[in-house]
Amino acid sequence: MKLDWEYYWDEVKKRKFFIFGFFLVVLLPTMDTWIFLGPSVRTAQSVGIMPDSVTTSIIIQKAAILVIFAVSWDLLSGYSGQISFGHALFLGMGGYLAVMIREGLMIGDQEVFPGMEEQLVDIGGIYFDLSVIEAIILASALIAVFALVTGTIILRLKGPYFALVTLVLPLIAQILVTKIWGDFTGGDGGLQITSQLIQKPPGSTLEGLDLFKLQIEQMTTVILTFAIVCVAIMYLLARSRYGLVLKAIREDEQAASSSGINVSLYKVSVFVISSFFASVAGGLLAQVFGSSTSALFESERSFEIIIFSILGGIGTILGAIIGTFVLFFALSYYIKDGFVDLQTIEVLIFGLLLIIIIRYQPRGLINADPQLRNSLFFGVIFSFLMAFYDTGNMIIASTWNPAPILQKYLGQGERGFFGMDLFKVQGRMVLYFIVGTVIGYYGPELAQKIRLRLWGVWPSLGTFDPPK
């Protein structure tokens, strides 16, 4: 996929987007501190038409971790063709083992091994505990050794048999962790993290919420750095000769073998590499959650990334990155962590998306035809944009995001009209309508009509078609 900023700008110019009378806001975690946008963003956050920056940061953290996880799955299943339905095994193991190594292991009153020493370092103003990162990498290395042993055994199985075994393994691990090894894995409650990755800088006067916000932002930086390094390594591997051999194994094992490729060696090695990075993702996810629980092993974790990767395009690292980041971000932002508690319909949305994609674009969005790909891509990008105007006693907001209205109605168990709403929050009137970005992008004529109906109020973003 061609990613070029000039090309984006062409798309924007071609669509003749207008910004008229409103503030245009791109959602970023730190935007409430921006000088120009700060006041209006804070107003929007206070009346609940935008999630606050902490929520956004946490969504970005989770998305970045899932990108590592999805790319590691794509390297194993998309490239070498060994479809794994239980990659969460390594996610969970990484989470538990990293916490155990850092915090030490106690069985009853007996200490099996002590935890690691605290090593506080300051890199670029981020004051963090290096031992946590060392523990994550050490745990991942141990899990890679474990994967070497299990891989040599289970990779003898082919196709559906391998998939079935991988499906079962995390379920076994979940039972072991919650029921049988409860003494040192903490049972259902999981292992709590007592030593935070991000520490309070010495001499800092920040307290309470401000300190929390600072730590969340620094955590985002650390996790994004991790994600960039891990994904870059896997991307280079996939683009190298190694990736080509993996693809050959996926296409035809026997032909690969008669070309002189040691098929089992490559399959085991990619299993080990993939498990290493999945464990890194697990260790980081435990840090974000604040504990390692058996939820890390859940099959939902495995299926989530499979769906994201298929949507993005399987067997292309870029597809897994874009699919995971964009979709997880969009879904979480609008549904899961943003405002509305719609976790129950999340699976429904995933399922529908998957059916549509497999029916119409089986090779994923990254391999879709350029027109469709662009319109979906820009649709998602523009859906993050919102515009609002604060008149003093009324906030006029226009966005594609239906979350506030959904929340208002579904939260009270009523059914509402989804297009437009007027409601009162904290003594302030909010006029909210879902026109603008996406409708403006896909249906310029419709957007223009709505705009005329609203007595000259412009939709946040839309195409301006000069009258013929």
Partner 1 sequence: MSSRPTSVWRQITLLRVNDLSVHYGRAIALASVTLEIKSGEFIAVIGPNGAGKSTLLRAISGLVELERGTITYNDEILVETTNSRYRKIRKDRSLMPNEIVQRGVIHCPERRRLFPKLTLEENLMLGAYVYKEETEENYKRMEEVLRLFPALRERMHEEAGNFSGGQQQMIAIARSLMGRPKILMLDEPSMGLAPTIRIEIMEKIKEISQQGTTILLIEQDAMLALKAAERAYILEDGTIDREGRCSDLLNNEYILETYIGLT
CB nearer to partner 1: give 320 or 327.
Answer: 320
Stretch that binds partner 1, among 1-9, 259-267, 326-334, 411-419 (CB under 8 A): 259-267
Among 152, 195, 257, 299, binds partner 1 (CB under 8 A): 257
Residue 428, strand partner residues: 425
From the list 39-47, 242-250, 380-388, 401-409, the region that binds partner 1 by CB under 8 A is: 242-250
Question: Looking at beta carbons only, is 262 or 343 nearer to partner 1?
Answer: 262
Could you say whether residue 367 binds partner 1 (CB under 8 A)?
Answer: no
Q: Closest distance between partner 1 and the C-beta of residue 314, in Å?
A: 11
Residues touching partner 1: how many (CB under 8 A)? 16
244 touches partner 1 by CB under 8 A: yes
**Judged by CB under 8 A, which of 160, 203, 260, 427 binds partner 1?**
260
Interface residue with partner 1, options 204, 225, 262, 343 (CB under 8 A)? 262
* Binding flag, residue 299, partner 1 (CB under 8 A): no
**Among 143, 227, 245, 365, contact with partner 1 (rule: CB under 8 A):** 245
| Among residues 241, 359, 415, 468, the one that binds partner 1 under rule CB under 8 A | 241
Q: Which is nearer to partner 1, 223 or 314 (CB)?
A: 314
Secondary structure (H, E, C), the chain: CCCCHHHHHHHHHHCCECCCCCEEECCCCCHHHCCCCHHHHHHHHHHCCCCCHHHHHHHHHHHHHHHHHHHHHHHHHHHCCCCCCCCHHHHHHHHHHHHHHHHCEEECCEEEECCCCCCEEEECCEEEEHHHHHHHHHHHHHHHHHHHHHHHHHCCCCHHHHHHHHHHHHHHHHHHHHHHCHHHHCCCCCEECCCCCECCCCCCCCCHHHHHHHHHHHHHHHHHHHHHHHHHHHHHHHHCHHHHHHHHHHHCHHHHHHCCCCHHHHHHHHHHHHHHHHHHHHHHHHHHHCEECHHHHCHHHHHHHHHHHHHHCCCCHHHHHHHHHHHHHHHHHHHHCCCCCCHHHHHHHHHHHHHHHHHHCCCCHHHCCHHHHHHHHHHHHHHCCEEEEECCCEEEEEECCCHHHHHHHHHCCCCCCCCEEEEEECCEEEEEECCCHHHHHHCHHHHHHHHHHCCCCCCCCCECCCCC
Q: Whose Cβ is closer to partner 1: residue 247's or residue 336's?
A: 247
Q: How far apart are CA 342 and CA 335, in angstroms?
A: 6
Q: Which stretch binds partner 1 (CB under 8 A): 129-137, 209-217, 258-266, 303-311?
A: 258-266
> Nearer Cβ to partner 1, position 260 or 466?
260
Stretch that binds partner 1, among 64-72, 255-263, 415-423, 431-439 (CB under 8 A): 255-263
**CA of 398: how far to CAs of 59, 152, 159, 331, 372, in Å?**
23, 56, 49, 19, 25
Stretch that binds partner 1, among 61-69, 249-257, 399-407, 430-438 (CB under 8 A): 249-257
Name which position in 110, 205, 258, 412 contacts partner 1 (CB under 8 A). 258
Stretch of 53-61, 122-130, 169-177, 238-246 contacting partner 1, by CB under 8 A? 238-246
Tell me: does residue 169 bind partner 1 (CB under 8 A): no
Q: Which of 54, 261, 410, 420 binds partner 1 (CB under 8 A)?
A: 261
Contacting range for partner 1; rule: CB under 8 A; set: 2-10, 19-27, 42-50, 244-252: 244-252
Select the residue interacting with partner 1 from 122, 251, 300, 445 (CB under 8 A): 251
Q: Is 256 in the site for partner 1 (CB under 8 A)?
A: yes
Q: Which positions touch partner 1 (CB under 8 A)?
A: 241, 244-245, 247-248, 251-252, 254-262
